[in-house]
Amino acid sequence: MKGRTDVIVGVQWGDEGKGRVVDALAGRSGVVVRYQGGANAGHTVVVGDEKFVFHLLPSGILYPDKLCVIGNGVVIDPETLFEELDDLKKRGKVLARLVVSHGAHIVMPYHKLLDRLAESARSEGRKIGTTGRGIGPCYSDKFERIGIRAEDLVNPAALKEKLMMNIEQKNEILTKIYCTEPLDPNAAYETALKWGERMGPMLGDAFLEIHNALQAGNNVLFEGAQGTLLDVDHGTYPFVTSSSPCSGGACTGAGIGPGRIDRVIGVTKAYCTRVGEGPFPTEDKGSLGELLRTKGGEFGATTGRPRRCGWNDLVAVDYAVKINGIDGLALTKLDVLSGFEKISVCTAYDIDGEVRKSFPSSCAELAKAKPLFEELPGWKDDISRCRRFEDLPASAQDYVKFIEERTSTPVVLIGVGQGREDTIHRGI
């Protein structure tokens, strides 16, 4: 008997609530896999009165009987990884077994430094909105084939050779372009050796763990970071992340063939948010945006930055459905819309006087897009205790059905609060 696979992807600009969806589904899975991104992720899980924010650890780590895997496609900041593990142990948590891929790349201190320096050097309007966690520079080294991999941390000779070469190159950039002090390669080497001592027991063949689990009949859940609209290939380039959060990224980042993916679940908020720079057609810079920010607690889990907020954009959601081959949508934070007399939903754009119902692949085109809204009746009821779709107010049900109709995709899970139990399951 073979297990089944689910891929969880964000369909907006990240921060959709993927962590709570993964946590809700992890109980049915034997394995939870992070397949891309790094410590720029901030997946929030609320269990009872406890809140957990995971930057690197898979959101299934709180299930002690599970296996959690960090795949090849992830870039790892060892300091963040150790901090997360230590914090959970201090809180008395018994954790899932963790396997880190030998092939995952390591975020070095010079990556973080170069990330911050590059962002500060960009002029207004050209800033990316990076978290400064070194993600982009680490992926850059990966594709230049000079990166430090997890396996190098437990191979002192290879580690020293790579580090000496890399830091010599980085020091040229630091001193001649940014006019900063050079880095000490020996200090970096000693730090990396200490990382290897602790990470060594965690290392393994991630793809093999996944395939063995499937062969044994265990279900596997693949957890993406960021969102479709931040994908380096299909997002609002250049205001994107440096990896592939789309469902296809699970194949390359974890080592599983496309034909082995059984289901893709896209996570979307009941409204829309974005952190950082770049076009955002439905953004409201006035009182509505502020109200959504306040009610939804829209501040970055990684950076603490206030998120830009606006009404839901179904043009973008439909685009993500097509890009990822989404089979079902998980709608989070529906409770935040309680109390609105009317709810607006973007169903088309006006671009240079032309009505467009498809998401433009050009970022320059999207920047000119004016949202065209349809208005739906709101509801005043507190829905946080609803556990069945039928328990929702009629207007809330109609809102969900409207999303289903316009995206031709069923909504299989609805979040009506922060907690693990604040969830309506609809055929998931």
- Alpha carbon distance 244, 71 (integer Å): 13
* Contact in structure between 372 and 346 (CB atoms under 8 Å): yes
Q: Tell me the two tokens of residue 386.
A: 């609803």
| 295 SS3 class | helix
Exposure class string for 101-120: b at 16+ Cβ within 10 A, else e: bbbbbbbbbbbbbbbbbbbe
| 164 SS3 class | helix
Residue 148 region, left (φ>0) first, then alpha (ψ -120 to 50), else beta? beta
| 160 SS3 class | helix
Nearest alpha-carbon partner for 252 in 139, 328, 333: 139
Active site residue 6: no
Pick the catalytic residue: 6, 15, 77, 335?
A: 15
Exposure class string for 45-60: b at 16+ Cβ within 10 A, else e: bbeeeeebbbbbbbbb
Peptide bond into 238 cis (omega under 30): yes
Pick the catalytic residue: 6, 23, 43, 111?
A: 43
Q: What is the DSSP letter of 146?
A: -
Looking at residue 328, its amino acid is G
Instruction: List residues bridging with 371 in a β-sheet.
Output: 349
Active site residue 234: no
Instruction: List residues bridging with 425 in a β-sheet.
Output: 413
Q: What is the CA radius of gyration of the chain?
A: 22
Positive or negative torsion for Cα 385, 390, 395, 397: positive
* Contact in structure between 31 and 57 (CB atoms under 8 Å): no
Containing 423, the helix (H) or strand (E) segment is: strand 423-425
Nearest alpha-carbon partner for 13 in 245, 221, 243: 245
What are the residue numbers of the active site?
A: 15, 43
